């Protein structure tokens, strides 16, 4: 299943979900994923796949949930240590902090550390840090 209707059936991530320790989340990106990435960016078959880091990080951040209504992504800091040239198995670990702004909104900063899992040894791949503003009252458990 896919599409907006499917998406709207998924549970909403509450603040507690975003702040919880989800452990290490692994994701194997396939040739199909690489093709989708290149299509989304208008790249040819030789185009770099670095942006899979951002995708992997966002998937780990939400862990199958969707952002609450009114949530706003205000920034992303993306540190890519090495180029990614082929589909890969990526492990992600999230650490989140939150604070309240003057309007009662939660400002959540989540750093996602990504490692490329390789037979010959895992390699540091990227760090992706998301900053979101959640509407007031988004702190209740899902």
Partner 1 sequence: MSAWTPTEEQLQAWGRLSEDYNPLHFDGEFAVRQGLDGRIVFGALALARLAAVVRESIPNQGVVIDVRFRRPMPVGEELDVDYDQETGIVHVRLHDNDLVTGTVELLHP
Q: State phi, psi for 8 to the nearest 5 degrees.
A: -70, -15
Q: Are 14 and 43 in contact (CB under 8 A)?
A: no
Three-state DSSP state, 66 = strand
Pick between residue 82 and residue 118 the one whose CB is nearest to partner 1. Answer: 82
Question: What's the CA gap between 47 and 45, in Å, rounded?
Answer: 6
Pick between residue 83 and residue 140 the one whose CB is nearest to partner 1. Answer: 83
Residues that bind partner 1 (CB under 8 A): 2-4, 6-8, 33, 36-37, 39-43, 47-48, 50-51, 54-55, 58-59, 66-67, 69, 72-83
Taking the complex as a whole, the smallest distance from the CB of residue 10 to partner 1 amounts, in Å, to: 9
How many Å is the Cα radius of gyration of the chain?
16
Pick between residue 73 and residue 136 the one whose CB is nearest to partner 1. Answer: 73
Taking the complex as a whole, the smallest distance from the CB of residue 52 to partner 1 amounts, in Å, to: 8
């Amino acid at each position: 299943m896919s599409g907006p209707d499917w998406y709207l059936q998924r549970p909403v991530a509450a603040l507690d979900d975003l702040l919880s320790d989800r452990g290490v989340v692994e994701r194997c990106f396939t040739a199909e994923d690489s093709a989708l990435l290149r299509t989304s960016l208008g790249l040819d078959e030789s185009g770099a796949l670095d942006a899979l880091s951002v995708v992997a990080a966002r998937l780990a951040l939400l862990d199958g949930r969707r952002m609450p209504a009114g949530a706003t992504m205000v920034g992303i800091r993306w540190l890519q240590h090495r180029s990614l040239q082929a589909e890969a198995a990526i492990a992600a670990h999230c650490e989140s902090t939150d604070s309240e702004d003057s309007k009662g909104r939660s400002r959540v900063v989540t750093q996602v550390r990504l490692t490329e899992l390789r037979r010959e040894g895992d390699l540091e791949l990227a760090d992706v840090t998301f900053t979101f503003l959640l509407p007031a009252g988004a702190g209740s458990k899902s």
